[in-house]
Amino acid sequence: MLRQSIERYTAEHYTFEGRWAALKSPRAYSEQAWSDYGHFGWLALRLPQESGGVAAGVRTTAPLMEAVGARLLLEPILASAIVGTGLILRRASADQKAQLLPKLADGTLKVAFAHQETLNAFSEDAISSEYRGGAVHGSKVAVLHADCANRLIVSARKRDVGGTVSLYIVDAVARGLRRQRFRLLDGRGAANLSFDGVEAEPLNASGAIDADQAAIAAALEEAIVASCSEALGAIRALNAATNQYLKSRKQFGRPIGANQALQHRMVEMHLLEQEVRALTLAAQRALSELEVGRTRIISGARAFTCSAARRIAAEAVQMHGGIGVSDELDVSHYYRRLMVLGTLFGNRECHFGRFAATCEAIGH
């Protein structure tokens, strides 16, 4: 039901041709589409009913994330509706929720999670930003959609409690906050942030001393699975485009897809897509159902998806030939989107390492 309405809306209102205006606008996304998503309730899938949501489980967002990949949506769905919202749901107090959730639901509030501090995508990032005297000091890099967010959720070490990493919310135009905005390879906005004593409010639901740290881990897990779903959507669309091109492009008097060498390569791409789909669905289930062995499934899915996405994107460009390299066709846009997805929330090596650590030692 949700899947059908998302597919219908995006097919009608988010065509590749129509998307250019949003891509080229200074905002780098479509304000109209964003407000439509809010209107349809797609930004509130995870919210409790009293905040205008449907209190759905973490898996419900999968069709939405697949559409983000399949239609190359530019709006801050992952940053705000999945990660930012996930952190607020887990760690905001009742008062904070009452204030923030309704605005997240209708899209008037956009949040981004400012967490990454170094360029390292190969392992979990160390946090050195600090919270002291009611203010955040430090810097963050390449924060997805921090260019357009109204509020930022910031991870920082709390000095007076032994340096535990905790979560704070700051206004995106607060004094002492510098935003260096730029575009990612796929055209989505991001920003580097520097906090020079920026007034910040702790996300202060009661909980254990490491509750924020646990919430970060859980929200990042959710983001990793969401990025698998997004990659799956992009891979499926890209394979469909390549397959169609093999049938329609004629050289030497026949469709290029009549060449067995190309047929076998296309079959390989299809197999990879099926594997990515199966692993992504397993990761979605693990997110809501598994306690033990989650990391194995989720990081395994992520590592496999990164490798498959890289091969599929390269083969799509290669089999399209010259037109695959042009910016005018969607193929190169999928290529760049999949490059971005291969780095956000840890690259292949990062997740392969986590997976490998779960493999049983040989000889035991």
Partner 1 sequence: MSLEQWQRAERLRVEIQEFCRSGMPSDILRKSSRHLMLNKDEYVRWMRALQSRGWAVGHWPREHGGLDWSALERFVFEDELARAGCPWVIPFGVKYVGPVIYTFGTEPQKRRFLPPIAATDQWWAQGYSEPGAGSDLAALRTAAELHGDHYIVNGQKCWTTYAQWADWMFCLVRTARDERVQNGISFLLIDLRSPGVTIRPVRTMDLCHHVNEVWLDNVRVPVENRVGEEGAGWKLAKFLLANERTYGAGVGEAWFALARLKTLAADMSCGGARLISNSGFHRRIDELELRVVALEALSYQALADMMSGAESSAEASMLKLRASEVYQDLIETTVDALGYAGIAYDPGTLHGEGPPPLGPDDAGGILRYHLYNRAATIYGGSSEIQRNIIAKSALGLQP
> 317-356: which residues touch partner 1 (CB under 8 A)?
317-318, 321-322, 324-328, 332, 335-336, 339-340, 343-344, 347, 349, 352-353
> Is there binding between residue 116 and partner 1 (CB under 8 A)?
yes
Task: Provide the β-strand partners of residue 131.
Answer: 136, 158
> Is there binding between residue 119 and partner 1 (CB under 8 A)?
yes
Which of 252, 359, 361, 364 is in the footprint of partner 1 by CB under 8 A? 252
**Cα distance between residue 28 and residue 25, in whole Å:** 5
Q: Do residues 111 and 151 lie in contact, with contact meaning Cβ atoms separated by under 8 Å?
A: yes
> Is there binding between residue 72 and partner 1 (CB under 8 A)?
no
User: Measured from the CB of residue 45, what is the shortest distance to partner 1 in angstroms?
Assistant: 27
Which of 5, 25, 251, 274 is in the footprint of partner 1 by CB under 8 A? 251
Please choose, out of 45-53, 118-126, 151-159, 203-211, the segment that lies near partner 1 by the rule CB under 8 A.
118-126
> Which residues, including other chains, have CB under 8 Å from residue 326's CB and lie 6 or more apart?
332
Grouping H, G, I as helix, E, B as strand and the rest as coil, residue 189 is strand
Residue 201, H or E segment: strand 201-202
C-alpha pair distances (Å), 336 with each of 47, 209, 310, 317, 332: 31, 40, 10, 11, 6
> Which residues, including other chains, have CB under 8 Å from residue 191's CB and lie 6 or more apart?
143, 146, 147, 179, 180, 181, 182
Neighbours of 243 (CB within 10 A): 16
User: Measured from the CB of residue 184, what is the shortest distance to partner 1 in angstroms?
Assistant: 5
Toward partner 1, which CB reaches closer, 33 or 306? 306
Please choose, out of 9-17, 88-96, 111-119, 281-289, the segment that lies near partner 1 by the rule CB under 8 A.
111-119
Q: Which amino acid is at 146?
A: A
Which of 121, 211, 218, 282 is in the footprint of partner 1 by CB under 8 A? 121
Structure tokens, 329? 């066709």
User: Measured from the CB of residue 107, what is the shortest distance to partner 1 in angstroms?
Assistant: 25
Binding site for partner 1 (CB under 8 A): 116, 118-126, 141-142, 180, 182-185, 190, 192, 250-252, 256, 259, 261-262, 310, 314, 317-318, 321-322, 324-328, 332, 335-336, 339-340, 343-344, 347, 349, 352-353
